[in-house]
Structure 1
Amino acid sequence: MESNQQHLSAATASRLVNWDFAAATAAALVAPGPKMSRREIQAAVTDLRRLADESVTHVHRITGLDAAEDLRDSQVLIVDRASWAKANSQSFAALMNPMLQHLAQTRPEAVNATNTAVAGTLTGAELGAVLAFLASKVLGQYDPFAALAADNPSKTGGRLLLVAPNIISTERELNVEPRDFRLWVCLHEQTHRVQFAAAPWLRDHMLDQIRQLSNGLMDKAQGLPERINQLAKQLSAAAGTGKAVESSDGVPARQMDVLTLLQDPEDKARLSHITAVMSLLEGHANVVMDAVDSSIIPSVKTIRRRFNDRGANRGWLDKFFRRVMGLDAKMRQYADGSRFVRSVVDKAGMQGFNRVWERAENLPTEAEIHNPDLWIQRMGL
């Protein structure tokens, strides 16, 4: 009986988001990219494959991680925008379906077969629109969760996606040497691939943290109206006194959002941990891509300067979507993580820094990301 209920909840959960419709919507909405002949496209794909292979040697030399010598459990794919969106819809499904199944099991009254089909299509359309926007921005991505996708026949450890139209469009926009820019991008993305190879426990650790956080927030969603009502009463009572209203941990009411209202201390700690790990991964990859000198990438300094300046020239609509999608926060992760990695390497050497990949307990906290000396002391370096 219990297994039958689990089967029913799994079937219901799978209809909460129409993942195929999300991928189809993204493919229909996203522009194909710069106009190129078939010969130019084939040449670009060949070049990116060659530079992706070449970059692994540099990642190995810079990081000292021997895992770079054997990456057979993952794959490199050169994709267009629509293919990137489809791959991400598959990974989202693998990540979210267990959480949606948890919702269906714990709150069956909120998830019934009557409305899930319509809701799933609407949610799929919304996700497709988001993927369409991101598909035109992302240069590359290492997806450690690819093996979890139901329709991934290779069941590899992960897959590196290099989005050819975006790389070509950006190198033209920046007016930089194509070979140099492509190798620079490959260095960053291959570093992510090497990170997960060096720390084979990291994927499951991140997956566990994400699912625990998501399940916890879903369990608390039922009490959201009551929390909002309590906050409204506090604001009303404080209106005549001029006192500021804060949450129990000091978050001002004006800064609260739905996520803040749902989180308890354990959720906040888990989110802080995930943020710290993402800052570490992105910062480490940034440090590696900038560690090559002009003998490897002659125009590396020009590329970095123009790439950083590129953000100032974006239109207001693009900036708005980036803020909503959290891309601004991701850029801050790059900067925070880069400072952490550089500081640790300067004081403890690359070998000392590489202790971070040994086990989950060695991952830095968010406080340590902002104060690397705390991590160095904790590691006994």
Structure 2
Amino acid sequence: MSDTPFGFGLPPEEPEDGDKGKKNDPSGGGHGAGGPSPMNPFGFDAGGGGSDNPFAAMFGSLNPNDLGAAFQQLGQMLSYEGGPVNWDMAKQIARQTVSQGTADGTKDESVGPADRTAVEEALRLADVWLDGATSLPSGASTAVAWSRAEWVEATLPAWKQLVDPVAERVGVAMGGVLPEEMQAMAGPLLGMMRSMGGAMFGQQIGQAVGVLAGEVVGSTDIGLPLGPAGKAALLPLNVEALGKDLGVPKDEVRLYLALREAAHQRLFAHVPWLRSHLFGAVEGYARGIKVDTTKLEDVVGQFDPTHPEQLQEALQQGMFQPEDTPQQKAALARLETALALVEGWVDAVVHEAASSRLTSAGALRETLRRRRASGGPAEQTFATLIGLQLRPRRLRDAARLWASLTDARGVDGRDALWEHPDMLPTATDLDDPDGFVHREQMDFSELDKMLGEAASQDGAGKSTDGTQDGPQKAKGAQEPGDDDAADDEGGKGGSGQ
């Protein structure tokens, strides 16, 4: 547990002094032991020094000169009346986390002209290479190079869509943990707790997004379209950090990552239902998450407004439990399968485009697979906050299935499966990729035959060569149910060609 109540998992800050401390503190005051900072706005001292002073008992070793600033920030937190997450605070904390740099000491910096040009050229070349590996056209109208801070700004709207449904459940649960006859009397307290809860979520999400900004290399790293539509992006600083210890030329690392980013952009741009399908799967799973009301009741019953870190501790420990129901298990399976299919398709397409052009393609492929499978500290934070790990557990199975489909049906036939979600492989199909490919071949062969038979008839009941239909046709006409079923199947097959 962090020593700073609002540090949320960050290591305790080292004491600073002199001008250096003031320079790094946006509020103007030093934030050494006990001083307030954006990550510790009230300057709580875990040691509880100054026990003879009633203010010290409440605020630890808070510098009296900063008392007004601390109460001002507390007032801002308590006066928050927005949604379930204080996103203004989340943005502030994320940017502060980015400015502090990553664990290895790498600081964020503005993207220079040379890096910007290199990223734009890599993304343009990646699109050219992908033209022969997929039937989906380019999906990026703009190629950009982002700093970590720019990534935070660009992706916050997507995080809001992901996190708000779960955070809302906490807000509702807070109002329901007390008996009905007590809720009227406890109204002000519950209102204060909701405001504090929104602030706490904002602190946690902001810190996690800030840490994630130091790990990601583009806008689609977690398999979801986090950035604006049509904008392919790479983060040069993180691209360099990723390739530092791989023994691979920097240009090859950048180009391989550009291929992955551009492939994601094609998929999200030209499969119009995919974004809502993925975000809907996340929301569907979130609806089946229940709040641990026992833990929440303990927090409400013991809540002390002078110790808001109690809410932070509850959030850090996690108060979400997936319901053990068939519906929830099905929702999780849909989400994991959808993420795996997206990542597997990108993996297969990029490998096809890069394997004959980049000598390090195989090594880079394995590095990225392991990276996606293991996740990082920020992803673990999101798992605690929303009860969900956004990782494709079946990536290798999905990549193998897409590669088999390419061999069996070609690029066009493989990519045609994205025309409708009902045509995509299921979790069961990932268990038996060869069986799915074989079944698809048979299904499409039968559908092609049915479509050919339907096309051989004209409106007057004659075949295309002008002869009358035989007895079998007449018999078929007396069974409209069979014709309707054939039409339905034919429509489905036509959409998959």
TM-score of the aligned structures, taking structure 1 as reference length: 0.70
1:277 matched to which residue of 2? 338
| Cα distance in 1, alignment partners of residues 195 and 174 from structure 2 | 17
2:184 matched to which residue of 1? none
1:135 matched to which residue of 2? 213
Residue identity in the other structure for 1:202: L
Whether 1:209 and 2:281 are equivalent positions in the alignment is yes
Shift of 1:167: 0.1
1:41 matched to which residue of 2? 112
Whether 1:93 and 2:160 are equivalent positions in the alignment is yes
Residue identity in the other structure for 1:17: V
Whether 1:113 and 2:191 are equivalent positions in the alignment is yes
Max radius of gyration: which structure?
2
Whether 1:187 and 2:265 are equivalent positions in the alignment is no
Identical amino acids, percent of aligned pairs: 23
Aligned in 2, Cα 1:300/1:144: closer, same or farther, shift over 3 Å?
closer
Contact 2:240 2:250 in 1 (8 A): yes
Contact 1:13 1:97 in 2 (8 A): no
SS at match of 2:391: helix
2:88 matched to which residue of 1? 20
Equivalent of 2:413, from 314, 339, 352?
352
| Cα distance in 2, alignment partners of residues 370 and 322 from structure 1 | 26
Q: Which has the higher contact order (CA 8 A, sep 6+)?
A: 1
SS at match of 1:160: strand
Residue identity in the other structure for 1:28: Q
Aligned in 2, Cα 1:13/1:364: closer, same or farther, shift over 3 Å?
farther
1:243 matched to which residue of 2? none
Residue identity in the other structure for 1:51: A
| Cα distance in 2, alignment partners of residues 109 and 330 from structure 1 | 33
Deviations 1:218-248 (CA, angstroms, capped at 9, x unpaired)? xx437x659xxxxxxxxxxxxxxxxxxxxxx
| Cα distance in 2, alignment partners of residues 62 and 304 from structure 1 | 16
Shift of 1:163: 1.8
Deviations 1:239-266 (CA, angstroms, capped at 9, x unpaired)? xxxxxxxxxxxxxxxxxx9766524211
1:199 matched to which residue of 2? 271
Aligned in 2, Cα 1:212/1:107: closer, same or farther, shift over 3 Å?
farther
SS at match of 2:234: strand
Shift of 1:324: 6.6
Question: Any unmatched runs of 5+ in structure 2?
Answer: 1-78, 178-186, 296-317, 445-497
Contact 1:140 1:189 in 2 (8 A): yes
Contact 2:122 2:254 in 1 (8 A): yes
| Cα distance in 1, alignment partners of residues 336 and 109 from structure 2 | 42
Residue identity in the other structure for 2:206: G
SS at match of 1:330: coil
Residue identity in the other structure for 2:284: Q
Shift of 1:280: 0.8
| Cα distance in 2, alignment partners of residues 205 and 259 from structure 1 | 23
Equivalent of 1:286, from 347, 358, 364?
347
2:395 matched to which residue of 1? 334
Equivalent of 2:134, from 56, 63, 68?
63
SS at match of 2:144: strand
SS at match of 1:20: helix
SS at match of 1:137: coil
Contact 1:26 1:132 in 2 (8 A): yes
Question: Any unmatched runs of 5+ in structure 1?
Answer: 1-10, 147-155, 227-256
Deviations 1:187-225 (CA, angstroms, capped at 9, x unpaired)? 1111111111221111122233322322232xx437x65
Aligned in 2, Cα 1:304/1:359: closer, same or farther, shift over 3 Å?
closer
Contact 1:12 1:104 in 2 (8 A): no
Contact 1:12 1:101 in 2 (8 A): no
Aligned in 2, Cα 1:64/1:332: closer, same or farther, shift over 3 Å?
same
Equivalent of 2:233, from 161, 172, 179?
161
Deviations 1:323-355 (CA, angstroms, capped at 9, x unpaired)? 676799836443232122122223333233213
Contact 1:141 1:161 in 2 (8 A): yes
SS at match of 1:188: helix
1:79 matched to which residue of 2? 146
1:221 matched to which residue of 2? 291
Contact 2:130 2:259 in 1 (8 A): yes
Q: Larger helix proportion, structure 1 or 2?
A: 1
2:452 matched to which residue of 1? none
| Cα distance in 2, alignment partners of residues 331 and 105 from structure 1 | 30
The alignment of Structure 1 onto Structure 2 pairs a total of residues equal to 319
| Cα distance in 1, alignment partners of residues 382 and 371 from structure 2 | 18
Q: 1:288-303 maps to which residues of 2 (within 5 A)? A: 288-293=349-354, 296-303=357-364
1:249 matched to which residue of 2? none
Contact 2:219 2:261 in 1 (8 A): yes
Contact 2:108 2:147 in 1 (8 A): no
Shift of 1:71: 4.0
Contact 2:278 2:339 in 1 (8 A): no
RMSD: 3.8
Shift of 1:120: 1.7
Shift of 1:37: 9.3
| Cα distance in 2, alignment partners of residues 323 and 79 from structure 1 | 24
TM-score of the aligned structures, taking structure 2 as reference length: 0.55
Aligned in 2, Cα 1:338/1:259: closer, same or farther, shift over 3 Å?
farther
Aligned in 2, Cα 1:293/1:214: closer, same or farther, shift over 3 Å?
closer
